[in-house]
Structure 1
Amino acid sequence: MTLSSSSRRAFLALAASGAALGLPQSGSAARPEAPPLYITTPKPFPAFKFSDASGHPLSLADFHGKFVLLNIWATWCIPCRKEMTTLDQLQVKLGGPHFEVVPVSIDAEGLAAVRKFYAEIKIERLGIFLDPSGSVMQMLNLEGVPTSFLIDPNGKQIGRETGAVVWDSPSVVSFLNHQISRHPHD
């Protein structure tokens, strides 16, 4: 699937809406004047391993056939903490056979830290996914968290965002619904 120029503009606008609502960008390199999202030409996403809450090893291949919003985050990251409730609500609105939010925590304390955090802010719909080694940071050449990737059902990266976004905003939900509806389903 290739995003049309109008879809690219829509995706930029929806990400900008998150910045307009005052969510801070992560990292010192973030520039407030730059659009918070850039769309990539579809390209294969690097394979990396992470685990679920039970310790079962996973990769993005386990989500083949779905759009995935992959979010790399940590409980100690203030912008991450602010956007997690919006990711939870996005999962409520769009989660199902064609879309899933996959938040991968890089907390060294692993499962205990994430469970405690989810309980504190009442995260109810997001799964717990872990990379306590933080190896995903190096593998994906990330400079900071949160960083999110939109992955199409064929495992190709079609968008990237560094910094917090209001993921459950009407413009984001509308854009993602449009992308999901454009992709043929089995």
Structure 2
Amino acid sequence: MRKKMTKRIFIDIEKCYSCKECKAKCSYYYKHSRTFRDSEKEESQNKGFEKFFSKVLQYYICRKCEDAFCITACSNEALFKDQNGILHRSLFRCTSCKSCLVACPFGTIYKDVLEYKSSQCDFCLPRADDKNPPLCVITCPEGAIQYIEIEHDEKQDIYEINKNLVARVKKWILEPIGK
């Protein structure tokens, strides 16, 4: 029996040209649809899409070393890889010492690529369905963001970033390095 697939946000990095329409729509919705104290209202901005897009960008540029120098260099054990080889930063352990930036032999870790704050994006799950896809999907003029049933497929360069996010990114290398 075949496993039932669920819809997820799919980003095709090859189609995205960084117009930021998706970020603007998402920020607008969250800024104007929720109640904030007056002092927070001016400063409030949903960085949710920006944060999960940074995960896709990091996956795109990281060389995915088998024995990652950045992880070894971190004295606080703040960096780790998940089962898909995606690099993550522990928000509580990182002291922003930037040892990982220095240790990366390819210079692919930028100070803001690995997020320091947790994503506020809820993937529009409370309201997303077949008739109402997430706001970033509706807004994307190039179709780089879709809300579809899709699975991890390395042959097609499609990788699962997390349970709600899948992306098409080209791999830098065919074999892991760093041993």
TM-score w.r.t. the length of structure 1 is: 0.29
More helix by proportion, 1 or 2? 1
Considering Cα pairs closer than 8 Å and 6+ residues apart, tell me whether 1 or 2 has the greater RCO: 2
TM-score w.r.t. the length of structure 2 is: 0.30
Which one has a bigger Cα radius of gyration?
Answer: 2
